[in-house]
Chains A and B, each alone.
Chain A
Amino acid sequence: MTTLLLAAHDGASIKDATLKALTAALAFGDDIHVLVAGDGVAGAATEAAKLKGVGRVLTAETPALGHGLAEPLAALIVALAPAYSAVLAPSTSTFKNALPRAAALLDVMQISDITAVLAPDTFERPTYAGNALLTVRSADPIRLITVRTASFRATPAEDRAPAPIETVAVPADPGLSTFVGDAFSTADRPELTSARVVVSGGRALGSEEQFKAVLLPLADRLGAAVGASRAAVDAGYAPNDWQVGQTGKAVSPDLYVAVGISGAIQHLAGMKDAKVIVAINKDAEAPIFQVADYGLVGDLFELVPELTKALG
């Protein structure tokens, strides 16, 4: 019995999401192999070889895998999966895209977004925006699983003899899709899903300019990632990939500061795993105060700059 962990990485190094999914993989109690698929992955593979519980690292490299295209990545997973009893991946957009494709080709029902491993075939996962937690048991011979990284702590790399790294054969690209381009926000901020502190804004910020003018100085002061409610994203105040919630990102920072966010259940689904939640809102009845550890009722345009100054 061996578990295959699919690594999220940037080529040079392993991402925090992988270290969290590793914690879920370790709960199976089996030997772990890590697949590092991409284009130029030597650095990430070297890091993967030192992770706890890892017996082997597999690398697979093509340009299409470098762009995380679903069709060739799923074909690779399908080729490898029969040797394993479980295949786990962090719930990144790449694996949310590719893993269900692999699952259908293997005739397996994927278990999405698990929050706990209760037994090698039994898992907990949220439904209804986190308002109902299901305990599910899989009857499939191979379990294909995405891991809700906000629900697991990272397992740090160990000082250990590295596991062997071997290159695996890549199946022929089915040639159904080609990469055209990407537009990534270049930010010198921590990543939203792995940041220790997140400062998040809602529609009450009123405009893109005010969103930036009010929140970014506070985020800078706290070394925080910046998030947003769906309402703020829909209004164009913040880019799509900042959205926190049921259909955006799930975060679990030590500190989450919700500014001008009312706290719809869909937003709470993405941030209620935070250790400490601070809410700043002028509406004393806003549902965000029901989950906040500390609440300030008042004008965010006064309170946030005051907070930024007080932290200086």
Chain B
Amino acid sequence: MKILVPVKRVVDYNVNIRVKADGSGVDLANVKMSMNPFDEIAVEEALRLREAGVATEVVAVSIGPKESQETVRTALAMGADRGIVLEADGIIEPLAVAKLLKAIVAEEAPGLVILGKQAIDDDSNQTGQMLAALLGWPQGTFASKLVLGDGGIEVTREVDGGLQTVRLALPAIITADLRLNEPRYASLPNIMKAKKKPIDLRSASQYGVDLTPRLTVLKTAEPPVRPAGRRLASVAELVDRLKTEAGVL
């Protein structure tokens, strides 16, 4: 079984982003970019399934600017077998990403697609669900555990109030939550090896998918800043202020 893992190039987890003064967007000049952390977890899970003998090949695919090759290269350094980049500039919304991924699925015929549950830049949490819909496949979102069995997969999902386990027919879509695994670091030899692994660079426009955004961003703003609070000297003072000043006790 082949596993397809879509990976997104995003602003690194540790970067404090800055909104441009004219409200036109987020300043991405000279900002460190990395693979979306949830996608790293998705790559790791696919590699573990290959190492367990369940999967035979792991293919990483990214959609975005040509620098997305670096993100795919990271997946290859972790251990993915080969990569595909669909080059596209500007904002590509989850719906358009799902349509492009559907085309890749048609070419590659994977038994599983494992995605991150959300990208930490747009925080949409949609692409996996949308891909499942367009393919007519079942979806196991927010997964914290996968067990592959005969013709199906059991997915333990993180839901409000606890965990839910569902059984899905294959092929299926999985989206990874934080506790699915701890992704490995790429070792230096594997980083060197990854440089020789193939990445197929294509234009996203060749798939006939309308990439025009459905949502127009009218403005990007900084969130309101909470006024600075005060340090208190004692527990007694805290209780007093919560009662009298804040009125929350």
Residues of A within 8 A of B (CB): 67-71, 74, 92-94, 96-105, 107-113, 122, 126-140, 174-185, 191, 193, 197, 230, 233-234, 239-241, 246-247, 249, 254-255, 265-266, 272, 275-278, 284, 289-297, 303, 306-307, 310-311
Contacts and interface: CB of A to CB of B under 8 A. Distances in A.
A112 B125 contact: yes
B53 interface: no
Given A70-B129, A112-B123, A254-B248, A94 B159 contact: yes
Task: Classify the secondary structure of B's interface with A.
Answer: mixed
10 closest A-B pairs by CB: A176-B138, A104-B130, A100-B129, A109-B214, A184-B162, A104-B133, A100-B126, A293-B229, A180-B165, A93-B159
Given A101-B129, A112-B124, A294-B242, A177 B118 contact: no
A174 B178 contact: no
Contact of B126 (A94, A110, A133, A139): A110
A111 B218 CA distance: 14
A241 B161 contact: yes
B52 interface: no
Interface in B165-212: 165-169, 177-179
A74 B137 CA distance: 12
A295 B230 contact: yes
A67 to B, nearest CB: 7
B238 A278 contact: yes
Interface of B: 11, 13, 16-17, 19, 26, 38, 93-95, 98, 117-118, 120-127, 129-134, 136-142, 144, 154, 157-169, 177-179, 213-223, 226, 228-232, 234-236, 238-239, 241-242, 246, 248-249
Given A126-B223, A311-B239, A100 B160 contact: no
A135 B133 CA distance: 27
Contacts of A239: 162
Contacts of A67: 164, 166
B248 A134 contact: no
A295 B235 contact: no
14 contacts: A74-B133, A100-B126, A100-B133, A101-B139, A109-B213, A112-B123, A112-B126, A135-B217, A175-B169, A177-B139, A177-B167, A234-B178, A303-B235, A311-B249
Contacts of B216: 136-137, 139
B162 A241 contact: yes
A71 B239 contact: no
B26 A132 contact: yes
Contacts of A297: 231
Contacts of B166: 67, 69, 177-180
A110 B134 CA distance: 14
Nearest to A174: B136
Contacts of A193: 160
B125 to A, nearest CB: 6
B18 to A, nearest CB: 9
Contacts of A291: 226, 229
B168 A176 contact: yes
